[in-house]
Structure 1
Amino acid sequence: MLTRHRGSSLSAAVLLSALLLTACGGGTASEGDGDGGDQSEAEQDQHQQEIEEAEAAREQALAGPSEAHREEAAQLVSELSLQQKAGQVLVGEYSSSDASDMAGLVQELHLAGAIVMGDNVPTSGQGADQPGADLAELETQLASIQAAAEERGYPAMISVDQEGGLVTRVGEPLTEWPAPMAYGAAAETLDGTGLTWQGHRFMGEELAELGFTASFAPNGDVTVGAADPTVGSRSFGSDPEAVAELSLSGIRGLAEGGLMGSVKHFPGHGSVTDDSHHTLPVQDASLEELRARDWVPFAESIEAGVPMIMMGHIDVPALDDGVPSSLSSAAYDELREMGHDGVVVTDALNMGAIADGYGPDQAPVMALEAGADLLLMPADVRGAHEAIVSAVESGELSQDRLDEAAERVVSLLLWQQDLEAGELDAGPGVQMPEVLRDHYLSQEEGLTEEEWLQDDAAEAESGSSEEAERRARSVAEQLAAASVTVVSGECGADQSEAGLQISGGTEQDQARLAAAAERAGVEVSGAGGTQVVLLGGDQPAAGGDVAVALDRPEALDGSAAPAQIALYGRTAESFDALIAVLQGAEAPGALPVAVGELEPGHSAC
């Protein structure tokens, strides 16, 4: 199981990952770092204090705005008009790959920023079946939105839902990542925190390079498995403590890459049986049950410090019967009582749970009054803006509440600006202090500094984007290989010798598996060989020799296939990992969620 993460210090595993990824110059591990050597007791105490201070400084830098950011934000907001303040708590959406209208709204209404969805990503026309993202054009469009905020003195929020797996708005040629549940599957046998940190850092770096400043990830939802229709493989798993540790590692990784992250969706979307995109789910658990399960990842993230938490649309009778949490002051009060003093952003206000029961203009006012700071995707951003202004003018919404929300948002934007610019004690391009490098290298038996640092200094000097891409894909490969789980069947058996037949999944899934087979020298034919059935697509899937769950491992429950494998992803790297296992390679992953009668942690190997 994962080592529980407590307090405000990053785990040793995560900091060791930083050593591997951060550009570092020379310097060797100090003699006696591990046992004190010939140092006097006073020198050892001072050295330990230096280590703790360096850890605390890095952690504070990644956790969110400082007091200086808050003070600057208060001054900036005090100079805004009511109309500008109303815009500063809104994130709008747009409907095409042309962002010019969105940029106009950001400037006119002083919006906090915009969110990019799949339809907003220009395509390169690489092929009708698999068009790739036109990253150069996307970067140009995002820059036009950012330019609309130039006069403010701080950036607009250019946000995206980029979790990996099913929720990936910007795909190839960016690195594709397996579903978040892959981290949970890999965590049973490998360093879950370090791998999660690395994956999210690289994801953040690639997005930041394009002009994004925020990603609404990771999911802190604890899934209950098959009864959960919405989150599924978007969750790290069903163990609250494991989800807590991986969530924190994920949001820290995003910050190290330069992005604001957001742990979501409080009060927990993984244990309700309806989808808030379409209706209002009801969470019937008691507060005691919620605090022992769903709220553990949020409470531990708040304890460590995170910049932003997303409030979901869930009716929790134990808090506020009949009221969506995103519109409930009791839900926001819970987060504040846990200690969160950063931004609380709503889930999209155009979702069915809100849009069908509340007016498109009134819902944003209600959310703001209840305690939200940032209002995401109102059904009509102009109408929401006007409604907020009117509510303050009429006294329905207090000016103080609007000021408080705007100040939190601006302080967040100021923090991200400094983070990305390398002006804090951690973040993109910021070298880890030598005292920490030496300390953690000395704690890792059997590894030399050269093995950890490799040739990072030379690579950093070259600034090679190709090298950054290589590293990201290397981590994606490690994750795919570490998470693949044999749920039933013989381990280490070569099931590919007679070739493969492939069915199920989508056309792209089949094409990617066939390509992986070709790379490995495995024949794919229409008849004969091992029948591999891909579960989770738009084609019928039944029977077969090997059933492969592409997303949720629960899809394997009830399968009659003698061999069953959970893959947790549809990336090229995932299919390479699958072929390797079919050829007899080790499958080190373990189930992070129950599948039928099989408990979390199960592996047939």
Structure 2
Amino acid sequence: MPPRRLTALLCTGALLAGTAGCSGGGAGGAGPSPSSSQDPEEAVAELMADMTVEDKVGQLFVLTALGTTPEENAALITDHRPGGFIYFPENLTGAEQIAELSNGLQELAADEGSGTPLFLGIDQEQGLVARLPIGAHFPDAMAVGATGDPEMAATLAGTTAATLTALGINLDYAPVADVNADPDNPVIGIRSFGSDPELVGEMAVAEAEAFAEGGVVSVVKHFPGHGDTDTDSHTGLPVVDKTREEWEQEDLPPFRRAVGAGVDAVMTAHLVVPSLDDSGEPATLSETVIDGVLRDELGYDGLVTTDALNMEGVRQTHGDGEVAVRAVLAGADQLLMPPDAGVAVAAVQEAVADGRISEERLDASVRRILTLKVERGLYEAEPADPAAAADAVGAGEHAEAAQEVADASVTLLRNEGEALPLDDGATVHVSGQGAEELGAALEELGHPVAASAQDADLAVVGTSSARGDAEQIAAVDAVRGSGTPVVVVAQGTPYDLAELGDVDGYLATYSGVEVSRTAAARAIAGEISPGGRLPVDIPGTDLKAGDGLGY
């Protein structure tokens, strides 16, 4: 038997005890509510007994929220009775507004929808993919991987969960469990913990567990693995051309570990792996991949969600309504962001009416969705407190936690002539990516910023995924011509070093967020010793995963 989901382990006890230990911005008791003394399976059976087919089909859909107010989404709730919404920056202006939006959507779902509390989700991976305009901004996953410490992953996820719950958000489309095997991957890169499948799995599970402990559903993505692609599935259909054995060794381990840990949800990828399914269908529409590999072979019994259905990777061979139907037939439980909700919902309803999607198949997905909502305590959750949200999100310890992770991630990969750390009072010239923030941090640490490289004791050049970027490479070359020692601070993928020539020092932060730039400045100044270790190999060099220097 596969293990019970993390939510069952962490939340059912709180639910049965009638406590709010797993609250996460739910419906505030709206709609039919399970008894706190009920077994979750019995509770879900009672809930489903009162649902119409339209209610059940609606639960399969997570729609893109409109505007910044609940009222702008009222028609979507009335017409389609969705199981959830996903937020984007255009929906979010501040803590009080977000909390009020979450509360209002839950109230509308209770009064005008199916009466079932909503999953309110967001892409808050941190780093590059961070939709919230407020709260602590942590570095990207590759920086977390560089720490080598799963406690750092737990710190990121636990702090993020505290922010989300204060805003009434109960689901995060994170962590990324993709193994970044292709240095030129256009869509994953520093969103991955690294190129070591075991490290990626350890970090992903640490985040999933911390999200669960914080009352937030986590979604491990993107199965069967998006780390070895050279095409962005937002704009095209990637093909992962590797043998089944290679896939099992390189891409599968993090997902196998996640399944073994009983994670809440897994997201499918819009890509083709011919060695898993030679039909040409993307994994999101492949029964062989979802029902066959993920469920039957790996034994996963939790919720499966698609990646966004408005992405081109899943829209190349079928119309939008047919895509929704085929995703359900393949084994997906939730359909994320259909480009036209009306078309997709109508297509699934028609497929159920015609018997193409059996009621048994529909019920299986609805049962998983409602079970997770019950286990997570959404039916008993208190509304978010808009007045208190700003203070909760702006807590000082959140910023300290983000800085701690960034400090632990800084990796020193070259230090010719002991260019680093700087002597007390040494001057610096700072240019390139993040120059303003790096310079300000170095000045605060007692290192005046010179107007030119020639007038400085050290030249610091910031880059951001400069591999193949002629302009950034030329900027580094120009500073190298000054005769002043040059240190590069790579704030994207660390692969830049292979193309930057003989710079004196090379620091990798794997992220361009403010705390990462502050951490780089602290390492340059000797305030911290760079303790990060490379989480990927760097082609064209002798540097391998695990490498790193200290002071």
| TM bucket, shorter chain | 0.7 to 0.9
The residue aligned with 1:245 is 202
1:334 partnered with 2:293: yes
1:546-565 alignment, distance < 5 Å: 546-560=487-501, 561-565=503-507
What residue identity is the alignment partner of 1:216?
Y
CA distance in 2, matches of 1:84, 1:59: 25
1:501 partnered with 2:461: no
Q: Cα gap change, 1:8/1:532 in structure 2, threshold over 3 Å: closer, same or farther?
A: farther
Query: Would you say the 8 A contact 1:350–1:378 is kept in 2?
Result: yes
Q: Cα gap change, 1:419/1:526 in structure 2, threshold over 3 Å: closer, same or farther?
A: farther
1:45-60 alignment, distance < 5 Å: 58=10
- More divergent stretch after superposition (364-373 vs 527-536): 527-536
Identify the match of residue 587 of structure 1 among 512, 530, 534. 530
The residue aligned with 2:482 is none
Query: Displacement, 1:228?
Result: 2.1
CA distance in 2, matches of 1:467, 1:283: 40
Identify the match of residue 600 of structure 1 among 537, 545, 549. 545
CA distance in 2, matches of 1:556, 1:363: 42
1:217-236 alignment, distance < 5 Å: 217-236=174-193
What residue identity is the alignment partner of 1:334?
V
Query: Displacement, 1:500?
Result: 2.4
What residue identity is the alignment partner of 1:559?
L
1:305 partnered with 2:262: yes
Identify the match of residue 520 of structure 2 among 578, 584, 596. 578
Query: Displacement, 1:412?
Result: 1.4
Query: Displacement, 1:296?
Result: 0.6
CA distance in 2, matches of 1:108, 1:9: 32
1:159-558 alignment, distance < 5 Å: 159-172=121-134, 174-187=135-148, 192-321=149-278, 322-332=280-290, 333-337=292-296, 338-417=298-377, 421=381, 465=391, 469-490=395-416, 492-494=420-422, 497-505=425-433, 509-527=434-452, 528-529=455-456, 530-536=458-464, 540=472, 541-543=475-477, 544=479, 545-558=486-499
Q: Cα gap change, 1:487/1:60 in structure 2, threshold over 3 Å: closer, same or farther?
A: farther
Q: Secondary structure at the match of 1:532?
A: strand
Query: Displacement, 1:396?
Result: 1.9
Query: Displacement, 1:224?
Result: 0.6
Q: Cα gap change, 1:495/1:570 in structure 2, threshold over 3 Å: closer, same or farther?
A: farther
Query: Displacement, 1:70?
Result: 3.6
The residue aligned with 2:509 is 567
Q: Cα gap change, 1:549/1:294 in structure 2, threshold over 3 Å: closer, same or farther?
A: same
CA distance in 2, matches of 1:144, 1:9: 29
Query: Would you say the 8 A contact 1:106–1:113 is kept in 2?
Result: no
Q: Cα gap change, 1:107/1:352 in structure 2, threshold over 3 Å: closer, same or farther?
A: same
Query: Displacement, 1:57?
Result: 5.2
CA distance in 2, matches of 1:519, 1:419: 49
What residue identity is the alignment partner of 1:531?
A
Q: How many residues align?
A: 496
Query: Would you say the 8 A contact 1:218–1:262 is kept in 2?
Result: yes
CA distance in 1, matches of 2:378, 2:204: 23
CA distance in 1, matches of 2:222, 2:41: 25
What residue identity is the alignment partner of 2:271?
I
CA distance in 2, matches of 1:558, 1:286: 31
Query: Displacement, 1:119?
Result: 2.3
CA distance in 2, matches of 1:86, 1:469: 40
Cα deviation per residue 1:121-146 (whole Å; 9 max; x = unaligned)? 22xxxxxxxxxxx2222222222222
TM-score, length of structure 1 as denominator length: 0.77
The residue aligned with 2:385 is none
Query: Would you say the 8 A contact 1:272–1:282 is kept in 2?
Result: yes
Query: Would you say the 8 A contact 1:500–1:532 is kept in 2?
Result: yes
Query: Displacement, 1:69?
Result: 2.6
Q: Cα gap change, 1:276/1:463 in structure 2, threshold over 3 Å: closer, same or farther?
A: closer
CA distance in 2, matches of 1:552, 1:496: 30
CA distance in 2, matches of 1:329, 1:296: 21
Q: Cα gap change, 1:210/1:313 in structure 2, threshold over 3 Å: closer, same or farther?
A: same
Query: Displacement, 1:340?
Result: 1.0
Query: Would you say the 8 A contact 1:73–1:408 is kept in 2?
Result: no
CA distance in 2, matches of 1:211, 1:176: 19
Query: Would you say the 8 A contact 1:319–1:331 is kept in 2?
Result: yes
Query: Displacement, 1:150?
Result: 2.2
Residue identity over aligned pairs, in percent, reads 33
Q: Secondary structure at the match of 1:149?
A: helix
Cα deviation per residue 1:503-528 (whole Å; 9 max; x = unaligned)? 222xxx33322332233232223223
- More divergent stretch after superposition (547-556 vs 92-101): 92-101
Cα deviation per residue 1:547-590 (whole Å; 9 max; x = unaligned)? 11112111332112221110122233212211111112310001
Q: Secondary structure at the match of 2:221?
A: strand
Q: Cα gap change, 1:233/1:420 in structure 2, threshold over 3 Å: closer, same or farther?
A: farther
What residue identity is the alignment partner of 1:228?
N
The residue aligned with 2:49 is 78
Q: Cα gap change, 1:87/1:511 in structure 2, threshold over 3 Å: closer, same or farther?
A: same
CA distance in 2, matches of 1:225, 1:283: 11
Runs of 4+ with deviation above 6 angstroms: 7-10, 59-62
Q: Cα gap change, 1:286/1:97 in structure 2, threshold over 3 Å: closer, same or farther?
A: same
Q: Secondary structure at the match of 2:412?
A: strand
- More divergent stretch after superposition (411-420 vs 571-580): 411-420
What residue identity is the alignment partner of 2:123?
D
1:40-189 alignment, distance < 5 Å: 58=10, 68-122=39-93, 134-151=94-111, 154-172=116-134, 174-187=135-148
CA distance in 2, matches of 1:102, 1:557: 50
Query: Displacement, 1:311?
Result: 0.7
CA distance in 2, matches of 1:201, 1:420: 21
Q: Cα gap change, 1:524/1:110 in structure 2, threshold over 3 Å: closer, same or farther?
A: same
CA distance in 2, matches of 1:483, 1:383: 46
What residue identity is the alignment partner of 2:190?
S
CA distance in 1, matches of 2:244, 2:512: 37
Cα deviation per residue 1:20-67 (whole Å; 9 max; x = unaligned)? xxxxxxxxxxxxxxxxxxxxxxxxxxxxxxxxxxxx9559879x9x99
Q: Secondary structure at the match of 1:310?
A: strand
CA distance in 2, matches of 1:417, 1:373: 20
CA distance in 1, matches of 2:380, 2:426: 52
Cα deviation per residue 1:339-376 (whole Å; 9 max; x = unaligned)? 11110000001001112332111101110111000000
Query: Would you say the 8 A contact 1:224–1:271 is kept in 2?
Result: yes
Q: Secondary structure at the match of 1:589?
A: coil
Query: Would you say the 8 A contact 2:306–2:336 is kept in 1?
Result: yes
Cα deviation per residue 1:231-259 (whole Å; 9 max; x = unaligned)? 11101111111111110000111111110
Q: Secondary structure at the match of 2:476?
A: coil
CA distance in 2, matches of 1:112, 1:288: 37
What residue identity is the alignment partner of 2:400?
S
